[in-house]
Amino acid sequence: MEMEHRTVSRFRLRPEASRATARRMNRRFLATFVAVVVLVLAAYGAGLRDPGRGLDALVIPFALLLVLAAFSYVRRMRRFRARWASFEIGLEDEAIGRAVIGFPPVRILRADVAAIEEIRAGLAVRARDGRGIVVPRELDGYERVREALAGWGTIATRGR
């Protein structure tokens, strides 16, 4: 029995591109944290009936909130870095695949591709069964992947 040999080109995310994504994550996290602080202060102010209780009653809740926020932030950034470093697109003549830590791998055969769309984030490859792969613009070799996928069919433009 003869083994089939497949050539797979592998593409990874550009390390320097993670800074912009990390900045966006930091802004969202900060906005969420500020919103929670404002809500806690508003709830405290609305419930302030005892003139003997001052803002010092908020020290422990805010300290707890700060500790939880720091823990959440460190965990989120660690997971982000691991996923960024592990993200890989594999391109074959007859299939495309995606592997990343924390998610099941996805492989779509060329014959199963229902649509290829150019979206704001990059390219969305959709299979007939609903599975999909996003090829991000931050991919080192994005243009090569785009060119190869253009040979598979028309790339529709949406949401750019």
At 125 the pLDDT is 97
Does 127 reside within a domain?
A: yes
Does 2 reside within a domain?
A: no
At 84 the pLDDT is 86
- 1-46 per-position pLDDT tens digit: 444 557 889 999 888 877 777 788 888 888 888 888 887 777 777 6
Chain CA centroid to CA 140, Å: 17
Does 115 reside within a domain?
A: yes
Greatest mean pLDDT range, 53-57, 64-68, 104-108: 104-108
CA distances from 155 to 21, 110, 116 (A): 25, 14, 5
Residue 51's pLDDT band, with cuts at 50, 70 and 90, is low
At 87 the pLDDT is 94
- 70-115 per-position pLDDT tens digit: 888 889 888 888 888 899 999 999 999 999 998 999 999 999 999 9
Q: Which two tokens stand for residue 60?
A: 């422990």
Chain CA centroid to CA 72, Å: 16
Does 1 reside within a domain?
A: no
Is the pLDDT higher at 107 or at 59?
A: 107
* Total domains, the chain: 1
CATH classification of the domain holding 132? 2.30.29
pLDDT at 62 over 70: yes
* pTM of the predicted model over 0.85: no
Backbone phi, psi, residue 146, to 5°: -60, -45
State mean pLDDT over 41-58.
66
At 26 the pLDDT is 86
CA distances from 11 to 43, 56, 65, 144, 154 (A): 49, 54, 40, 10, 22
Range of the domain at 15: 7-160
